[in-house]
Amino acid sequence: MTQKYLEKLEYNIILKTLSTYCTTDLAKNLCLTLLPSTDTRTVKKLLSETEEGVNLIYRCNTPPISDIGDISDTIAILKTYGILSAQKLFQLANILDTCKNLKAYFYVDHINPMDFPILESYFSKLYTNQSITEKIFKSISNDFLITDEASNTLKNIRKNILNTIQEIKDKLNTIIHSSTNSKYLQDNVVTIRNDRYVIPVKEEYRSQIKGFVHDMSSSGATVFIEPISVFELNNKLNNLKIEEHIEIEKILENLSKLFYPYVDELISDIDLIKNLDFIFAKAKYSKAINGSTPKINTEKFITLNNAWHPLIAKEKAVPINISLGKDYKILVITGPNTGGKTVALKTVGLLICMACSGLNIPADNTSSIFVFDNIFADIGDNQSILNSLSTFSSHMLNIIDIIKNSTKNSLVLVDELCSGTDPVEGAALATSILDYLNTMDTLTVATTHYQELKKYALINKNFENASVEFDLNTLSPTYKLLIGVPRKK
């Protein structure tokens, strides 16, 4: 379906709202690029997915999906048998752990998987590996550091590092707390320069402390000296740190090798988690709007019962009942400005777009829609100063596009058809356009102020009038849509 017409129906806002119910960025991107399907079988499957998701949430609450992130670069490294960082390894383990938790969520005693055949086809394919997951989580902490438990060798190296550091500090503390040396020191502290433990010495006494100068303060008043007594210990410490680094590289290599045989399974898991997150986002959104699954018909008609616009707060929205395609093909809606004509028009188009995208709609479950090959909507003012287009001209360009591209299986929605020009000429042009769409057997809803269209609909087959109700006592609209009742004035 054409993007510009979807935007006129505010479909893009629905997608942004839907994306907020996702956990993963992958599913959010899926939501934001979602387009209505024009294939009846696909629409039915998408709606069934959502319906199963809603039912499962009511039975088991929301599924335990974690934000898995994009691992395309990680997969590329695995395919070349490369070594992964601790963070990437932890991320892969998190994916396997998420799959384990999802399976535990779905395969429970009080759930019969056969009651959810579409979802079961996703959950059953999730790959888990408890052995790898436990190994990774034992070896890598939540802040992506290699733990002492990763290997006995690493544990021993780190123990030696701590002992060596303590030995260095003990020797240096003896020096700085000596009454003889205290007057030579700028501060009684042990610090580090160039990965060596040193003490701060006043520049004028640098010759009094035998050792190696590693740095000098910006003022030049302090030099940082490594006393000879800790030289070998500092060397030992640096060698131990090198050993630690080498051992960590070995650990990362061994942990990376665990995933080499399972690249395809990881790719599949990512796709399955993304799709499950997307399905349950649709389900959570359905709960938020109190949505229901419409019936899909092949007889080319629309029936929306107690339908309301999902972008209007439910407590403020006035439900409408609207049908099209059974007794008439062209619906002409009249009524005052700000009376709800445009909202009714958008509600019809938006709810059909939502349903064809697999989203439940805010309407009774007795509602039924047809899967159109396209939905055309001329709504709003596209006046363009840059292109020297008047309001009328911009609308006519849209109408020309609609006439050229619509078919008998399209839906056409037109707001204030042929307004913005001479009333007599506008009414005549509007009549001829609706006549053409009727000849094409194209379902159409049009709003208008032209009385001529209302009269034309009264006497012509396949046409029907409707109006938005206006309370004469309060002189205000009620926003109710009355089918078969033309506006009196």
Dist CA 466 CA 487 (whole Å): 8
**Cβ(464)–Cβ(328) below 8 Å:** yes
Q: What is the pLDDT of residue 255?
A: 98
Show pLDDT as tens, one digit a residue, over the chain (489 residues).
788 899 999 999 999 999 999 999 999 999 999 999 999 999 999 999 999 999 999 998 899 999 888 899 999 999 999 999 999 999 999 999 999 999 999 999 888 999 999 999 999 999 999 999 999 999 999 999 999 999 999 999 999 999 999 999 999 999 888 888 888 888 888 999 999 999 999 999 888 889 999 999 989 999 999 999 999 999 999 999 999 999 999 999 999 999 999 999 999 999 999 999 999 999 999 999 999 999 999 999 999 999 999 998 888 888 999 999 999 999 999 887 777 888 999 999 999 999 999 999 999 999 999 999 999 998 875 544 334 355 667 778 888 889 999 999 999 999 888 776 777 887 898 899 999 999 999 999 999 888 888 888 888 989 999 988 766 566 566 678 888 876 554
Supply φ then ψ for residue 305, to 5 degrees: -110, 130
β-bridge pairing 374-378 and 410-414 = parallel
CA dist 224 to 195, 205, 286, Å? Answer: 12, 12, 67
- Rounded to two decimals, the pTM is 0.86
- pLDDT > 90 in the chain, percent: 72
At 257, which amino acid appears?
Answer: K
Q: What is the pLDDT of residue 464?
A: 93
The C-alpha angle with vertex 139 and arms to 138 and 144, in degrees rounded to 5, equals 110
Q: What is the pLDDT of residue 201?
A: 93
Q: Which two tokens stand for residue 116?
A: 């959810």
Q: Which two tokens stand for residue 84?
A: 């992964």
Q: What is the tens place of the pLDDT at every residue in 314-365? A: 888 889 999 999 999 999 998 877 778 889 999 999 999 999 999 999 999 9
Q: Which two tokens stand for residue 391?
A: 């309001």
Q: Which residues contact 353 (CB under 8 A, 6 or more apart)?
A: 1, 6, 9, 11, 14, 36, 375
Q: Which two tokens stand for residue 460?
A: 């012509």
Q: What is the pLDDT of residue 317?
A: 84
Dist CA 432 CA 448 (whole Å): 14
Q: What is the pLDDT of residue 424?
A: 85
| 252: number of Cβ within 10 Å | 20
Supply φ then ψ for residue 409, to 5 degrees: -105, 15
Q: How many residues does the chain have?
A: 489
Q: What is the pLDDT of residue 388?
A: 38
Q: What is the pLDDT of residue 421?
A: 73
Q: Which residues contact 412 (CB under 8 A, 6 or more apart)?
A: 376, 402, 406, 437, 442, 443, 444, 445, 446
Q: What is the pLDDT of residue 426?
A: 78
CA dist 254 to 135, 150, 244, 249, Å? Answer: 11, 10, 15, 9
Q: What is the tens place of the pLDDT at every residue in 326-337? A: 999 999 998 877
Dist CA 132 CA 475 (whole Å): 71
Q: What is the pLDDT of residue 474?
A: 63
